[in-house]
Amino acid sequence: MRLQKIVFSTLLPLLSIVSVPVSASRQYTPMQNQMAQLPTQILKQEEVKATGSWTGKLTVDTIGGGHSQAVFAVAFSPDGQNIASGSADRSIKVWSLIAKKLIYTLRGHSNWVSSVAFSPDGQNIASGSGDRTIKLWDTKTGTLIRTITGHKDWVSSVAFTPDGEILASGSGDGTIKLWNWRTGELVRTISEQGVVSAIAISPDGKTLASGNYSRTVALWNLSNGKLRHALKGHLRPIYAIAFSSDGKTLASGSNGGEIKLWNVRSGELRHSSSQHSDEVTSLAFSSDGKTFASASGDKTIKLWNSDTGKLFRTLADHAAGVMAVTFNRDGQIMISGGRDRTIKIWRVAPYYPVPTRS
């Protein structure tokens, strides 16, 4: 296993992930280092605790040699200390960011792992697979707790409700299922119009969104399973959806490279763009709601202004299609997984304000 470290000037400071040698870094800096222009004086601790921005300097680290095939899914633990990755090699790997090593590998699926999600308390991981099953894992021991069956085709996506009581799953069989994951009991089945390729649950836990191959985004009342809005406008099958942190906006992406932003309450289209040259595979919003990221089969991650829908940065560090992207809770770190079998960790560099003399 190897860890490569690269530093992008517009984007991040370094984060190591595996207990292995780190290669030389390279840096691209759009602006001069502000520290170089500071007066020669000791900076107070509070003077360097400023938050950076995704429009500024970034760093990127690469975890390679872990998965033997494409990485289809990535997720942060709620405390941001660990990440989970799911792969075409049928495994889930859990990595420690602090200890800089692989904690364990979870094996048990008989086909590719399409989705992974941590429970809100961080004690469990749910995984969905091409083998039509959902598996629940104990994060402390790395052991399998239970296997949930019921879908008749591949499980495309899994997501916990914010209170951790329900696990939702979307499937190629055209259904969304809600589970009491602690018992494996099926709570409700929602029938869709075609292959359910992606699901997401709003931050308040009241709305479930789904994207399907019939080019429709659906918004469902999670408490009763009733349809609230059917959002139409995509020209190709939908592959990815994500809620903004305030739950007011939903992003959807298609296999034709389209991205659309929708008003969740009214169902109205806010913005539409077609900047990717291949399928949009994953979408994620930063915690402050200012930025959202799109991953694509065109080997790039694009960063967008959530308010205007305007593209402001393209990241092209993966050697093959990017299959998954997500932010951590404070929005300062982003991870991505790709067909190049790597996981990349992008981090915003801190901004150092000019201190005042005391």
Whether residues 23 and 153 fall in one domain: no
Question: Which residues does residue 277 pair with via DSSP β-bridges, in sequence order?
Answer: none
Whether residues 123 and 53 fall in one domain: no
Whether residues 117 and 12 fall in one domain: no
Q: Look at residue 100 in the predicted model and tell me its pLDDT.
A: 60
Q: Which two tokens stand for residue 94?
A: 């859990």
Q: Look at residue 96 in the predicted model and tell me its pLDDT.
A: 80
Q: Look at residue 241 in the predicted model and tell me its pLDDT.
A: 98
Q: Which two tokens stand for residue 242?
A: 């994500």
Whether residues 295 and 182 fall in one domain: yes
Do residues 209 and 244 lie in contact, with contact meaning Cβ atoms separated by under 8 Å?
no
Burial tier of 24 (Cβ tally within 10 Å: 0-12, 13-18, 19+): exposed
Q: Look at residue 263 in the predicted model and tell me its pLDDT.
A: 97
Whether residues 179 and 125 fall in one domain: yes
d(CA 93, CA 77): 13
What CATH number does residue 308 fall under?
2.130.10.10
Whether residues 152 and 277 fall in one domain: yes
Whether residues 160 and 36 fall in one domain: no
Q: Look at residue 357 in the predicted model and tell me its pLDDT.
A: 53
Sign for the pseudo-dihedral over CA of 101, 103, 109, 114: negative
Q: Look at residue 349 in the predicted model and tell me its pLDDT.
A: 84
Whether residues 61 and 75 fall in one domain: no
Q: Give the residue among 55, 58, 7 at the shortest CA–CA distance from 303.
A: 55
Q: Look at residue 129 in the predicted model and tell me its pLDDT.
A: 98
Q: Which two tokens stand for residue 62?
A: 């690469």
Q: Look at residue 350 in the predicted model and tell me its pLDDT.
A: 75
Whether residues 134 and 260 fall in one domain: yes
d(CA 308, CA 161): 29
Whether residues 17 and 166 fall in one domain: no
Instruction: Flag residues of the chain having pLDDT under 50.
Output: 1-51, 358
d(CA 113, CA 92): 7
Q: Look at residue 52 in the predicted model and tell me its pLDDT.
A: 57
**Which tens digits make up the pLDDT trace of 110-161?**
999 999 999 999 999 999 999 999 999 999 999 999 999 999 999 999 999 9
Whether residues 49 and 59 fall in one domain: yes
Number of domains in the chain: 2
Q: Look at residue 352 in the predicted model and tell me its pLDDT.
A: 54
Using CA atoms, how far residue 135 sits from 93, 181, 216, in Å, is 14, 9, 28
Q: Look at residue 40 in the predicted model and tell me its pLDDT.
A: 28
Do residues 218 and 212 lie in contact, with contact meaning Cβ atoms separated by under 8 Å?
yes
- Give backbone dihedrals phi and psi of 45, rounded to 5 degrees, phi first: -55, -45
Whether residues 238 and 353 fall in one domain: no
Domain region containing 34: 1-65+343-358
pTM over 0.75, yes/no: yes
